[in-house]
Amino acid sequence: MQDKLTSEPDVVLIGAGIMSSTLGVFLKELEPSLTIVMFETLEDCGLESSQAWNNAGTGHAANCEMNYTPERPDGSIDISEALKVNVEFDLSRQFWSYLVRKGAIADPRSFIHPVPHMSFVHGGNVSFLRKRFKAMSAHQCYYGMEYTEDGKKIEEWAPLVMEGRTNNEPVAATRIVTGTDVDYGSLTHHLVGHLVGQPGGQVHYRNRVTGLAREEGGRWRVEVHDLESGAKRSVKTKFVFIGAGGGALPLLQKSDIPEGHGYAGFPVSGIWLRCDDPAINKRHHAKVYGKAAVGSPPMSVPHLDTRVIGGQHSLLFGPYAGFSTKFLKQGSLLDLFESLRPANIKPLLSVARDNFDLTEYLIGQVLQSESHRLAALDEYFPNAKPEDWKLQVADQRVQTIKPDVKRGGLLEFGTELVGAADHSLVALLGASPGASTAAFIAISVLEKCFGGELTESAWLPKLREIIPSYGVSLIEDAELLQRVRAETAQALKIENIDASAIAGGPSATRAKSKSKARA
């Protein structure tokens, strides 16, 4: 932390999580002369949604998350959203690989580990997974995906999922070994450390942003309360990024930009079951995703996750949802009420009217007993013992509610950038897939707010060095996709599948040495 606050930085980042730190590092790499100041209310970076125990850490690549592959009315499977998320994670891999090769991150194993991603279903969902596999495995983005309806094979992949099943109900699973587990809290520390280790980079903890106001000439005055000393101060800046997780909506409202009028937020709390018993955890090395019940929201997708946090292997199962009026885990119970404005009352009421199934789901989750939670776990780990598991409270998700002329309001389950018309301020709202697509979101901010710098004579050559695939669709360019994945797997020490070996069966290799950065 730097004691002397720069009074007129080029960029102010609000929030010291994975989103702000990713954007800050991008900007500093592209323009080293920029002065960048980050403000964080808490005492360290990455303590809210980015903290490892507060998120699933999947490294969302739409390998196993069946909510990204809905069934069309004609029975076919739509994989378009899955492909989009899949290649967005490739951008994050390229960004992290660049930092590893540069030496900004000494050991990728400090934040990322190879963990297979699986989808598991039983009963009537087997036909869905069979069709899903057929659609996905036909595309180069999913080279190497495996499928089986053989319980013995599933037991080889994930023993805990099959042991103890006594009926003959049909089962099916897919697996892709290139999946990962990501500790975004650790990664955030790497990014913030790299940012503030350079001239012009600062982070100020225990500093709460209390106001945002336009100045003459287009600058923003950012009002800050130092929670340690009690001092109130302000800085003037050309650009503000609001990446404060659930706290982004109230700050967007403080900016009073017309583009933010009518937006609201609906907070949902998360709970996991956690197992730290090494004897159990060593027998499960996978992230196994199920299919959400009919009518349940995407946030309810059950999964049994291998987690590696601080070198310790654990299992998480969930998520179980709840309701709290807080917008942040360490927020205030008044957050929801203080976010109410005349302009967002109609969108809120419209969403409440049109999403009764979500309300019903949350009520059911709030009323769940310990036995109900264990019954859900039993579906994915039949031999689970209650004494091996404890509750782990996760973060708060604030689902975005956006104004809509026709329907009054729409509930969004993804993320959304809401920015000023002059591109001087932008806020990131929403949750999933969140951290896994931080690089994609940062690049979207660059394109939205710094488009004039993305030229051959300015930032574009450097951006292509950081993201070799920039400007090319990895969904369409199979050769580039395979090259990028091979190079990033080598740099990050994770699994890679050689597409040329697919004809003879999946061939996975884990690179041991660093690769040379592509020009």
Secondary structure (H, E, C), 390-421: EEEEEEEEEEEEEEECCCEEEEECCEEEEECC
Q: Is the confidence at residue 474, as pLDDT, over 90?
A: yes
Domain 11-452 has CATH 3.40.190.10: no
Q: Which of 272, 279, 287 is nearest to 161 (CA)?
A: 287
Is residue 2 scored above 60 in pLDDT?
no
Q: What is the pLDDT of residue 457?
A: 96
Average pLDDT, the chain: 89
φ, ψ dihedrals at 253, nearest 5°: -65, -35
pLDDT of res. 168: 85
- Answer whether residue 440 shows pLDDT above 90: yes
Residue 500: HSE in the Cβ half-sphere, 13 Å Cα cutoff: 4
Tell which wins on pLDDT, 515 or 261: 261
pLDDT at 511 (0 to 100): 44
Gap between the Cα atoms of 97 and 514, Å rounded: 9
State the chain's maximal CA–CA distance in angstroms.
72
The pLDDT of residue 410 is: 85
Averaged pLDDT, 441-466: 97
pLDDT, position 109: 96
CA–CA distance, 207 with 503 (Å, rounded to integer): 57
Average pLDDT over residues 23-31: 98
Q: Can you tell me the mean pLDDT for 227-248? A: 93
3, two tokens: 């004691």
Greater pLDDT, 514 or 38:
38
pLDDT, position 298: 60
Indicate whether 357 pLDDT > 80: no
**pLDDT tens sequence across 330-351:** 888 888 888 888 888 898 888 8
Instruction: State mean pLDDT over 415-426.
Output: 94
More confident residue, 339 or 86: 86
Average pLDDT over residues 409-423: 88
When pLDDT is cut at 50, 70 and 90, the band that residue 516 belongs to is very low
pTM for this predicted structure:
0.92
- Dihedral, CA of residue 366, residue 370, residue 373 and residue 379, to nearest 10: -160
CA separation for the pair 198, 512 (Å, rounded): 30
**pLDDT of 167 higher than 90:** no
More confident residue, 173 or 61: 173
Asked if residue 510 has pLDDT above 60, the reply is no
Lowest mean pLDDT among 61-70, 336-345, 456-465: 336-345
263 near 399, Cβ under 8 Å?
A: no
